[in-house]
Chain A
Amino acid sequence: MLKRTSNNNPVSFTFEGETIPAQSGDSVASAMLAHGTQALRVSTRRKAQRGPYCMMGACYECLVEIDGKTVQSCMTTATDGLQVSRVNHEDV
């Protein structure tokens, strides 16, 4: 569970069509965690649920798809209107 210390500059984006509230300073990954969604993808081999682990662009566990590209959600700034989806729809 995460709580916010402040409420400022709200922005919002969508994840799989659902509206996700975020704030300035948030990455897509931090906003998803604050929203209560930890699992963002499934692993390639065992198809196990995975979520953000390092939050600093190293582990690649938080991969999502934006504009047809696979990106690290922890390295992607949350901005208004972003359309985010899972990388492996067929496995979810």
Chain B
Amino acid sequence: MKTYDLAIIGAGPAGMTATTAACAQGASVCLLDEQQTPGGQIYRSLNHCDEQRGAILGEDYLYGKTLIDPLSTIDADQTFGATVWRIDENGHIYFSTHGQAHRIQARHIIIATGALERASPVPGWTLPGVMTVGAAQILIKSSGLITEGAVLAGTGPLLYTVAVQLISAGSPPTAIVDTQQPANYVTAAKYLPSALARAATLKKGLGYLAKIRSAGIPFYRAAGDLTIEGSTAAQALSFSHKGHTVRLQTDNVLLHQGVIPNTQLTRSLRLKHEWNRAQRCFHPQTSDWGISSQSNISIAGDGGGIGGAIAAQAEGHVAALGALQSLSLITTEQRDAGAQPHRQTLKKEAGLRRFLDALYPVPEEVMRPSDHTIICRCEDVTAGEIRSFVKAGCTGPNQTKAFGRCGMGPCQGRYCGTTVTEILAAENKLSHDAVGAYRVRAPIKPITLGELASLTGTGD
């Protein structure tokens, strides 16, 4: 079994930066990622990006090359197409490539598994033809596939970014249905001063909105009561707008309500997590150096709380330095001096994030959906059914499994977990921390018995 000073799970901005930074200090490093190429979701498929695709996706995407390129010159074991399905308390990491399981050990592990798009449970969101805004962007990045005639519904920076990318690709969305409310501007205003350190980013965002406006795309502000109609596939999106019901015919609805940390691995390790009120999600508790409640495990990037790609990059540096110091591979002075510029970046990014969190809050209808809305997509469990479990005495997410298989499908609660916590907290009048989240157990991705058996007899 191979052993390393440091193993890094996830090759997005945090994981790539941590890998490069740790190698620069002479540590033995292993980088694992589920995708075939480095970049994470944000810089996905950048290695294969041609000129046309680059022009559509823009400079923030192409910037990822500055993180990806150094990986080809450093002395780290890098395995792509590697699905990590278990980490144990002794620093063993179990993963599979091409149906073959492997095991390695690391003295310290940095988990940089990024974010997922928050579920947008509205009636009809399970119909074919309904995807996330991020999914449409993945189609552009990986395959050069442009979604035509889509209606974008929800809110948040990624929604506007993808709208602009679709405009650049010559296929502007047919409408944008924005759930942001005018009052959100008032709430966010007090965070504007702290965001001004990132004035260039704010200006870019305003530029996106101007581009959407000048493209003449119908833009429905302060929309609510989103419902996707159709029996076997999406046919229309209806919503309330200025006191009326609007119905837009479309076979392609792209939903977005921001992103939340992917906590499957950190939950499976029983690390301490806490509810973030501003971002309405759980994230693992970490020290200033990214170290979790278990001293040999660190978290870097969006998986530890949403900060965006630039913050993730800085956190990757900081977490690598923190890990190397804890392994006595660098001194405390080296760690502190090395982290200083990245702390400056993190401070500025945090100021921007507070503003964005207030500007694009999660709407009530997504936190506490109507009774007939499906919450657990895998097992077809509705919000009304979950509320009926509460009436029968259900207080915690794990109990919803026993009451009605909620969260027991193959996604293992990735897309229903946060909503289930929201509903149970509201119905039982408990704090989110008191309600808690699903108990996640390894393997965190389904594996075959053959894969499991492939571990034995090889000495690995």
Contact = CB atoms under 8 A, between A and B. Distances in A.
27 contacts: A1-B147, A1-B148, A1-B149, A1-B251, A2-B148, A3-B171, A5-B52, A5-B146, A6-B144, A27-B143, A30-B139, A34-B145, A43-B377, A43-B378, A44-B378, A44-B409, A45-B379, A45-B405, A46-B380, A49-B127, A54-B132, A54-B134, A54-B415, A55-B132, A58-B415, A60-B411, A61-B126
B131 A44 contact: no
Given A38-B233, A53-B130, A69-B99, 18 more contacts: A1-B149, A5-B140, A5-B169, A6-B52, A33-B145, A38-B128, A43-B378, A45-B379, A45-B405, A48-B232, A50-B128, A51-B233, A54-B132, A54-B415, A55-B138, A60-B409, A63-B410, A75-B34
B41 interface: yes
Given A3-B171, A39-B233, A44 B379 contact: yes
Contacts, number: 133
Contacts of B405: 45
Given A2-B147, A52-B135, A39 B128 contact: yes
Interface residues of B, number: 51
The size class of the interface chain A forms with chain B is: 35 or more
Contacts of B127: 49
Contacts of B145: 2-5, 30, 33-34
Contact of A49 (B99, B232, B414): B232
Residue among B132, B145, B232 with max Cβ neighbours from chain A (10 Å): B145
B142 interface: yes
B45 A53 contact: no
Interface string A52-92: 11111111110100000110000101000000000000000
Contacts of B147: 1-2
**What 5 A-B pairs have minimum CB-CB distances, sorted nearest first?**
A51-B128, A55-B135, A38-B128, A45-B380, A5-B144
Given A26-B142, A30-B145, A51-B129, A56 B410 contact: no
